[in-house]
Amino acid sequence: MIPDMDLKIHSRDIDTLIGRMKEYGSEADFSAVRRAYDLAARLHEGQKRLSGEPYITHPLEVALNLTMLHMDSVTLCAALLHDAVGKTEADLNLIEKELGAEAACLVDGVTKISVMKNKSRTVAQAETLRKMLIATVKDLRVIIIKLADKQHNMRTIMFHREEDQKTIAGETLEIYAPIAKRLGMSKISSELEDLSFQVLYKEEYGLIKNELAEREGERQKYIENVSRLLNERLAGAGLHLEITGRAKNYFSIFRKMKMQNKSFDEIYDLRGIRVITEEVKDCYAVLGLVHTMWTPIAGRFKDYIAVPKSNMYQSLHTTVIGPEGHHLEVQIRTREMHETAQVGIAAHWLYKDNMAAKGESYKNIAVLNDINRLFNESGSSLQFLKDLKMNLYEDEIFVFTPKGKIVRLARDSTPVDFAFAIHSEVGMKAAGAKVNGKIVPLKTKLKSGDIVEILTSKTAHPSAGWLKFVRSSGARYKIRSWIKKNEQPAEDTDSKKEEKKEAPEAEVIVPQEEQIKLSRLSENKKSMVSIDGTSNILIKLAQCCQPIPGDDVVGFITRGRGISIHKRSCTSLRPMLREKERFVSIVWESSPKNFYPVRLNVEAKDRPNLLKDVADEIALCRANVIKVEAALKTEDRALLKFILEVSGSEHMKEIIGRLKRLKSIIDVYKSEGKVVLSK
Ligand code: MN
């Protein structure tokens, strides 16, 4: 999403700016903007940017960025003078005299955000952020100018020394990009992300860029095909709409790969299209058609039109199984919703007829209330930064207790997770829940900002059914141990059955003649193996299920990336099941020389020397312990979590069998958790 750099800055001047303004606002105060430009040019006279260009090119570019958001003339005046106070001898009085109090106030806001020096990085960041948000609540235009400023600074970051580049990019990625995102300004936020990403992770950036370029043709074709099919159906229904593929944000691909521990292919396999309609009712008509053409995936439909996100985002989302079995994400929205999705909060200016919009009218925007509430509830700047970040990362939500305490949970958490997060006793006695004042089922998925109240009862107790929907491992563990302790055989078997149901076996049937014998997989899990002695193919053990020799596995032929080996029960195979021809069967051959990391949990009554005895036994089995975590789960019960290296599932069984015979051991089991080994 990085735009082609337009470095012909010298060719732009105040007339370029005025020209851009005329495209959207005929009533603007052009003479004020000219006055601001002349004043800025005079003040910055003789100053140079690191690029060697006259300094005035920077405020001019910032103002030009703001015309993309159709900002009013006062904002553009302030943008032209945003570096004047501090970098020149000008003060606010001068600006107020020349351009009025409103512009001076905006300049003041922007200036205050930037003066954070001589503090530790985290503290400085937290305070910058806090200042920025105070300014935002007072007048949104301050933050919008600041973001446009960052945008130009990031576009010209290559003129800094390399280590300065890293500092600036880090701050941009941690503060400015998330703020832009929070305000719904997705176009700016993804540009800031990608520009920072390029500086901070040069190598990864290059890799993703290459991968994308390599697959672009195939992807384009797929999207074109889908668009054609959809267009035919729409035309049949009398609708003629714009269908586009979606812009790619390199950094979001990178983040997904990191956070979900997935390969490029797994992330990239998701294809997305967007349908832009004229009217809201058409959105729902298109949705209906899409669902008749391709099978929708349960739980993936979201109606952000009826319930907009707090940053004003509106759209319908659905995921269907598209042609060739690919998951296809479809976003459907009107043109106006689409533009709002790009510029977020700045859409207030986009759709304003008169250009004299005032900060006052933006005070009721949900996101501002959100920020305000966070702001009032967080004691220190650091806590505030933490709370805010919580709200920014997609994999986390934060919810409130009725008294306003913030509780942080993983996405898709339920009131049960919330109850255990408050206190295990609350979890143990949870009988029901209220979300935002309404009674809801305990399995309800919580959203950021929900106010959650747990109704407890003395006679209530955990139920095996909860295991079906709880997200946090802590809650899951406590529920399990309660069930074990209060063993009611009937319920226990139920819970086992239910757990089984959660992960049904993927039905992968593979023609026997295409067997691949896996003899050696080298340590980095990649290897060249021979199929029928004719060709060499790259083999990778899938990171999602981390199979080890002896596991029941199947191979999936990826596009251009060799074969990835998954457990037959791996849920990530499900979307690929339609493409039977891309599966091959896999036979493990004994390879005593290789070792694979696995997680092994040992539960035991605590006693002296417990850890030592268990570790000794593991050593006797010739397995390597990479990591161990020991914790007391109850007063007398210990949970030892090992990461071991084993040669395969037989080896694993041997270890489990021997550990189970040790004194005071309650249970030994392989944990399905992924093993991530940091280097
Ligand atoms: Mn600046």
DSSP annotation string for 323-385? GGG-EEEEEEEEHHHHHHHHHGGGHHHHT-SSS---GGGGTT-HHHHHHHHHHHH--SHHHHH
From the CA of 149, how far away is ligand 1's center (Å)?
Answer: 5
**DSSP code of 3?**
P
Tell me which residue has tokens 């930064």.
Answer: 385
Percent pLDDT > 90 in the chain is 19
From the CA of 519, how far away is ligand 1's center (Å)?
Answer: 60
From the CA of 375, how far away is ligand 1's center (Å)?
Answer: 26
From the CA of 640, how far away is ligand 1's center (Å)?
Answer: 54
Provide the pLDDT for residue 357: 42
From the CA of 195, how far away is ligand 1's center (Å)?
Answer: 17
Distance CA 121, CA 183 (A): 24
From the CA of 81, how far away is ligand 1's center (Å)?
Answer: 9
Predicted confidence (pLDDT) at residue 563 exceeds the cutoff of 70: yes
Helix (H) or strand (E) holding 604: strand 596-605
From the CA of 58, how far away is ligand 1's center (Å)?
Answer: 7
Q: Which of 86-90, 131-135, 374-378 has the highest mean pLDDT?
A: 86-90
From the CA of 148, how far away is ligand 1's center (Å)?
Answer: 9
From the CA of 8, how far away is ligand 1's center (Å)?
Answer: 19
Predicted confidence (pLDDT) at residue 418 exceeds the cutoff of 90: yes
pLDDT in tens, 297-307: 877 788 888 77
Q: How confident is the model at residue 41 (pLDDT cuts 50, 70, 90)?
A: very high
From the CA of 53, how far away is ligand 1's center (Å)?
Answer: 14
From the CA of 48, how far away is ligand 1's center (Å)?
Answer: 13
Mean pLDDT, residues 281-310 taken together:
84
Which tokens sit at 398?
């934060």
From the CA of 197, how far away is ligand 1's center (Å)?
Answer: 21
From the CA of 214, how far away is ligand 1's center (Å)?
Answer: 37
Percent pLDDT > 70 in the chain is 75
From the CA of 521, how far away is ligand 1's center (Å)?
Answer: 53
Q: How confident is the model at residue 132 (pLDDT cuts 50, 70, 90)?
A: low
From the CA of 352, how far away is ligand 1's center (Å)?
Answer: 27
Provide the pLDDT for residue 57: 92
Provide the pLDDT for residue 362: 44
Predicted confidence (pLDDT) at residue 552 exceeds the cutoff of 60: yes
Q: Which of 218-232, 338-352, 363-377, 613-627 has the highest mean pLDDT?
A: 218-232
**Which range is least confidently modeled, 67-71, 129-133, 195-199, 352-356?**
352-356
From the CA of 25, how far away is ligand 1's center (Å)?
Answer: 25
Distance CA 629, CA 639 (A): 8
Alpha helices in 237-279 (DSSP H): 250-259, 264-268
From the CA of 84, how far away is ligand 1's center (Å)?
Answer: 9
Q: How confident is the model at residue 391 (pLDDT cuts 50, 70, 90)?
A: very low
In the predicted model, what is the mean pLDDT of the chain? 77
From the CA of 113, how far away is ligand 1's center (Å)?
Answer: 11
pTM over 0.75: no
From the CA of 355, how far away is ligand 1's center (Å)?
Answer: 24
From the CA of 341, how far away is ligand 1's center (Å)?
Answer: 26
pLDDT in tens, 160-198: 998 889 988 988 888 788 888 877 788 899 999 999 999
From the CA of 125, how far away is ligand 1's center (Å)?
Answer: 17
pLDDT in tens, 576-602: 777 776 777 777 665 556 677 888 999
From the CA of 443, how far away is ligand 1's center (Å)?
Answer: 49
Mean pLDDT, residues 191-215 taken together:
89
Q: How confident is the model at residue 17 (pLDDT cuts 50, 70, 90)?
A: very high
Predicted confidence (pLDDT) at residue 537 exceeds the cutoff of 50: yes
Distance between start and end Cα atoms, the chain? 31
Predicted confidence (pLDDT) at residue 539 exceeds the cutoff of 50: yes
From the CA of 59, how far away is ligand 1's center (Å)?
Answer: 6
Mean pLDDT, residues 465-486 taken together:
84
Mean pLDDT, residues 430-439 taken together:
84
From the CA of 291, how far away is ligand 1's center (Å)?
Answer: 48
Distance CA 289, CA 237 (A): 9
Q: How confident is the model at residue 134 (pLDDT cuts 50, 70, 90)?
A: low
From the CA of 281, how far away is ligand 1's center (Å)?
Answer: 44
From the CA of 349, how far away is ligand 1's center (Å)?
Answer: 22
Q: How confident is the model at residue 19 (pLDDT cuts 50, 70, 90)?
A: very high
The strand order across the sheet containing 624-632 reads 624-632, 637-646, 596-605, 665-671
From the CA of 82, how far away is ligand 1's center (Å)?
Answer: 6
**Which range is least confidently modeled, 514-528, 542-556, 619-633?**
514-528
Mean pLDDT, residues 305-311 taken together:
75
Burial of 298 (0-12, 13-18, 19+ CB in 10 A): exposed
Provide the pLDDT for residue 534: 33
Q: Which of 13-17, 510-514, 559-563, 582-586 has the highest mean pLDDT?
A: 13-17
Predicted confidence (pLDDT) at residue 389 exceeds the cutoff of 80: no
Provide the pLDDT for residue 519: 42
CB 142 within 8 A of CB 106: yes
From the CA of 340, how far away is ligand 1's center (Å)?
Answer: 26
Distance CA 16, CA 23 (A): 11
From the CA of 223, how far away is ligand 1's center (Å)?
Answer: 40
Between 423 and 263, the more confident residue is 423
Q: Which amino acid is at 575?
A: P
Mean pLDDT, residues 277-289 taken together:
89
